[in-house]
């Protein structure tokens, strides 16, 4: 087991659970001093200690010892700064890893039907006033949709276009979704389907993130944390 990996996972998960070190140590039945050493990566914990900590955090033991891929090509925005941000990114990274592995095993990796459209609006291309209208027209053509055809199943449409779709549940009315670029195993779109978020808002989020995949490729930077209502 890698002590540093365990430490990183513990800090992320504990923050997501909104628990103090004291609370985790008490729930796990370990001394606060010992827990702090584990979370700093200064000691190699015993398996039974890690199992107790995992139970206290309500996660699997595997979640504490498995390294998480770092995503870089991500457009992540929320209405306010979120303590759950790192956990969301970890969940998305694990999901993408599993998704791509299954595609490889099954030999069913889907083609990205909008690659040529996105290529026309690649990083550094001129930002013409009508580029959004042009992009919408080209996307419809690539997906075989008439100019005025109603879109009734945007999730199915995205998946048919070769975009990976993750319906993620987070009890938050400040996070609606995100998108992941090709560099990190995408293109992928994540939509928050928490039951207090309206279906209309979910549909808008999916379409909105598609727009970013096509038009705003230069905005895919995981280190960008500027708050946005978009």
Residue 3 has pLDDT above 90, yes or no: no
What own/partner pairs with CB < 8 Å and gap ≥ 24 does 61-65 have?
A: 63/9, 63/13, 64/6, 64/9, 64/10, 64/13, 65/1, 65/2, 65/5, 65/6, 65/9
Q: What is the pLDDT of residues 6-26, one digit of tens each?
A: 999 999 999 999 999 999 999
Handedness of CA 125, 130, 133, 137 (dihedral sign): negative
Tell me the domains of the chain and their CATH numbers: 3-65 (1.10.260.40), 74-219 (no CATH)
Report how many helices (DSSP H) and strands (DSSP E) the chain contains, helices first: 10, 4
Residue 168's φ and ψ, nearest 5 degrees, are: -105, 140
The token duo for 148 is 């005025």
Q: What is the pLDDT of residues 125-157, one digit of tens each?
A: 667 788 999 999 999 999 999 999 999 899 999
Handedness of CA 142, 144, 148, 150 (dihedral sign): negative
Handedness of CA 24, 27, 33, 34 (dihedral sign): negative
Name which of 116, 160, 163, 111 is nearest 138 in CA terms.
116
Is residue 222 classed exposed, middle or buried when 0-12, 13-18 and 19+ CB atoms within 10 A define those classes? middle
Residue 226 has pLDDT above 60, yes or no: no
Beta strand 188-192 pairing with 164-168: parallel
Which of the pair, 167 or 223, is modelled with greater confidence? 167
The token duo for 92 is 């998305």
Residue 43 has pLDDT above 90, yes or no: no
Q: State the pTM of this model.
A: 0.86
Q: What is the pLDDT of residues 50-66, one digit of tens each?
A: 999 999 999 999 999 99
91 vs 86: CA distance, rounded Å:
9
Q: What is the pLDDT of residues 67-98, one digit of tens each?
A: 988 899 999 877 777 888 999 999 999 999 99
Q: What strand order describes the sheet that includes 164-168?
A: 74-76, 177-180, 188-192, 164-168
pLDDT number for residue 227: 46
127 vs 34: CA distance, rounded Å:
55
pLDDT number for residue 94: 93
Query: Considering the chain, what is the average pLDDT of its residues?
Result: 90
- DSSP assignment of 4-66 equals HHHHHHHHHHHHHHT--HHHHHHHHT--HHHHHHHHHT-S---HHHHHHHHHHHTS-HHHHHS
Q: What is the pLDDT of residues 179-207, one digit of tens each?
A: 999 999 999 999 999 999 999 999 999 99
């Amino acid at each position: 087991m890698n002590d540093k990996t365990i430490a990183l996972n513990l800090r992320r998960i504990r923050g997501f659970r909104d628990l103090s070190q004291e609370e985790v140590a008490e729930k796990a039945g370990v001394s606060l001093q010992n827990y702090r050493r584990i979370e700093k990566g200064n000691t190699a914990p015993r398996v039974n200690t890690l199992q107790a900590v995992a139970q206290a955090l309500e996660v699997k033991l595997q979640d504490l010892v498995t390294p998480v891929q770092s995503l870089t090509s991500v457009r992540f925005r929320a209405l306010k700064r979120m303590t759950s941000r790192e956990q969301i990114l970890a969940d998305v990274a694990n999901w993408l890893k599993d998704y791509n592995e299954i595609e490889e095993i099954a030999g069913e990796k889907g083609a990205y039907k909008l690659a040529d459209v996105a290529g026309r609006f690649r990083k550094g291309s001129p930002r013409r006033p009508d580029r959004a209208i042009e992009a919408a027209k080209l996307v419809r053509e690539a997906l075989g949709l008439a100019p005025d055809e109603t879109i009734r199943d945007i999730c199915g449409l995205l998946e048919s276009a070769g975009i990976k779709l993750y319906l993620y549940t987070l009890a938050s009315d400040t996070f609606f979704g995100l998108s992941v670029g090709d560099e990190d195993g995408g293109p992928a779109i994540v939509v928050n389907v928490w039951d207090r978020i309206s279906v209309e808002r979910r549909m808008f989020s999916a379409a909105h993130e598609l727009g970013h995949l096509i038009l705003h490729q230069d905005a895919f930077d995981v280190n960008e944390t500027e708050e946005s209502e978009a």
